[in-house]
Amino acid sequence: MNLVWDNLPFLFKGAYYTLLVTIVSMFFGLIIGLVVAIARLKGNRLIRGIARVYVSIIRGTPLLVQIFIVYYGLVDYGLTLGPLTAAYVALSVNVGAYLSETFRGAIQSIPKGQTEAAYATGMTGWQTMRRIILPQAARVAIAPMGNTFIGMLKETALVSAITVTELLRSAQLLVAQYYVNMPFYIGIAIMYWVMSTVFSAILNAAEKRLSKVY
């Protein structure tokens, strides 16, 4: 394991890009997921249909294929994205589809009586959604959303296929340099586990805090 210790700065740099891709993708995925969820619940037939097809396509195709479409496929149409940008786009679109289902289920779990009560007080549909429905839905959604977040953290390893130097790619480069496999792969497995554990603890704390508020 001395090789791992000697190359920790390089692996930490890979971990930084893993976290960066995860956080940026989750941020935009949250926005996409919320918009798609509301579109499926409140949109007209056309909008609901588009949202439904989007979710179906993303959930029905491998993430690696989606990454290749964004990075390699768009080049055929004159749109060339850097590896990191392509990773952001592909992962955001992917996680947005899964989060939309989480949000949709959470919103639907809120009793309709609360919406009716809000309308009775003079709130508009948007005010009701923002002040009444979404805060309570967030409490319901945070646990499954946390699982999606942890899954995304691990799935960032797939962007090594388009040369993003995240944690797995960093280990692969070190393996190619030293011709030793096990220490580096065990080392990054421990690093993934630590990051997942930390995120789980943060999300559990957030869930408990929201439970006290709502």
Q: Where are the domains of the chain?
A: 2-213
Distance of CA 146 to the CA centre of its chain: 9
CATH architecture of 2-213: Orthogonal Bundle (1.10)
Percentage of the chain lying above the pLDDT 70 cut: 97
pTM: 0.88
CA distance linking residue 159 with residue 201, whole number of Å: 26
Coil, helix or strand for 61? coil
| Structure token pair of residue 162 | 């388009």
How much is the pLDDT for 211?
66
pLDDT for residue 14:
95
At 161-214, the pLDDT tens digits run 999 999 999 999 999 999 999 999 999 999 999 999 998 888 888 777 766 655
Question: Given a cut of 90, is residue 138 above it in pLDDT?
Answer: no
* Residue 32: DSSP 8-state: H
Angle (nearest 5°) at CA 138 between 23 and 61: 55
Radius of gyration in angstroms for the set of CA atoms belonging to the chain, rounded to a whole number: 20
